[in-house]
Amino acid sequence: MAYTVKCGDVIVVKSQQGKFLTVGRDGVTGANAPAITDHERFFIHDAQGAVTERELEYGESIMLFSQHGSYLLADPTGNVRGGSGNIGAWEKFKLINPEDPSCRTAIPYDGKIALQSDHGKYLAAEANGAARADRTAVGPAEKWTILKGRHVAENQLTLGDTLSLKSYHGLHLVAESTGELNANREGVGDWERFVVQSATGPSRVKQVHYGDVVSLVTAHGKYLGLDENGKPRADRTAIGVPTRWVVSNPSSPRSKAGVYYDDAIALRASNNSYLTAQPDGRTTTDQPNLGPWERWKLKSTRRYLTGGRVQQIIQQQLSGKFAGDFRMYVADGEYYCPSVSDAHEVIRKTLVEHNQYTREKFDCDDFAHILKAEFIKDGYNNGVRRAPHCFGIIWAGNHAFNWMINDDFNLRFIEPQSDGIFYPNEGVSSIYLMTC
């Protein structure tokens, strides 16, 4: 079947020269990228900035929202650049069938499109790799192939990810606060989450393959490993031989293929035995052979979002609450989404609410900035995390307060003067500025 393009999809567009449309962090746009990275991926928003999933047709206008958290725009002179926070005419592009401009059918992936700016000109890939929107007709340079641009790592196990492991018995691996390692939990909470790191050198963001050696970090900041008697524990304090685990394919132990979520894995300890889930919920590492009890189902509890995805969630969950001059500034490329309980603990420790409100000297925006700073410090002091908290400041009407996106990917507001956490549907409107 032919898959069609939908609002909210992530796409890339390829020129007739085989290069990809790209936008840098500085907003500079080109048509010269030889391969697909985050710079070449765009979320499709409709002409009102919405991302409600629906099929798109030729003749519709869209906006292209980059992974840097801003829109592509074409100005009247034909210059094309990223970095726009507006939802205006210059950010809109009409999807044209280059073979039949009057066509109004659904757009298939791998099909051809032309992108017409609000000024009536077409986006072209210049021979020198530049992108311009100043052409009055569609020729080879104005034809683009539309491709699926979903990030390949979305279902890959990647170093730095947070995961859970479900045993053959249907229960999850858990790191107890005592350091014991069990496999007896029905649900996934903080103690059932583990961060995967390289055990052989500095962790860089890359897919994990079968045969790789990893370390697993608990929510308590300790490592899974073996004690002096070869028994599994969750209280090791440093990476070393006892904390090294070889990720194995239980169906093909010699496999070196990439590991994906929902795959089955086995974990071979430094004593060359496998981590085993016993029926009574205990874990052992005395089995040198693979069987059903040594199989673990890999589940994602990923807590990271790109800056672009943060923007998309905000646009979706705050739809209809923005002022006409709304602006948003996202400073980083990736963010860590804390659980509500983790965030509440940071808020509780800060005591921001105990400051005295003084008009024009220490008022709502000062409370919000101090709480934001506390979350920056918490992220900085936590060596397991690879990104800052998804936590920011919001201005709505004449009031400033805080917002966050949690590990359930829901947006919540925080009133820093009272420590209250509440949902966006509780009386907030006229939002004109958000920063992260």
Residue 2 is predicted with a pLDDT of 45
Contact between residue 372 and residue 402 where contact means Cβ atoms under 8 Å apart: yes
Angle at the Cα of 404 from the Cα atoms of 321 and 25, rounded to 5 degrees: 85
Q: What is the pLDDT of residue 160?
A: 64
Q: What is the pLDDT of residue 225?
A: 94
Q: Could you tell me the sign of the dihedral formed by the alpha carbons of 298, 304, 308, 313, in that order?
A: positive
pLDDT string in tens for the chain (436-residue length): 345 787 767 788 989 888 889 988 777 888 888 887 767 878 787 777 665 557 789 999 998 877 666 788 999 999 998 877 777 899 999 999 999 999 999 898 788 999 999 999 999 998 888 899 999 999 999 999 988 764 434 456 766 667 788 888 888 888 898 888 988 988 777 788 777 877 765 444 467 889 999 988 887 778 899 999 999 999 988 888 999 999 999 998 889 888 887 788 999 999 999 999 999 999 999 999 999 999 998 876 657 777 877 888 898 889 889 998 899 998 887 788 887 777 888 888 777 767 778 887 888 999 999 999 999 988 887 755 667 899 999 999 889 999 999 877 789 999 888 877 888 876 788 899 999 9
Residue type, 435: T
Cα dist. 148→159, 194, 309 in Å?
Answer: 24, 31, 16
Helix, strand or coil, per DSSP, at residue 313: helix
The enclosing H or E element of 378 equals helix 364-381
Contact 202, 239 (CB under 8 A): no
Q: Report CA-CA distances (Å) from 197 to 70, 223, 237, 388.
A: 31, 10, 14, 18
- Tell me how far CA of residue 136 lies from CA of 140, 265, 327, in angstroms: 13, 56, 32
pTM, whole model, 2 decimals? 0.43
Nearest to 275 by CA among 263, 292, 287, 261: 287
What pLDDT is stored for residue 154 in this prediction?
43
Residue type at 223 in one-letter notation: Y
Confidence (pLDDT) at 99: 93
- The predicted structure's pLDDT at residue 77: 94
Question: Do 362 and 329 touch, CB atoms closer than 8 A?
Answer: no
Buried b (16+ CB within 10 A) or exposed e, 358-387: eeeeeebebbbbbbbebbeebbeeeeebbb
Cα distances (Å, whole numbers) of residue 365 to 152, 416, 434: 39, 9, 12
What's the distance, Cα to Cα, between the start and end of the chain in Å?
41
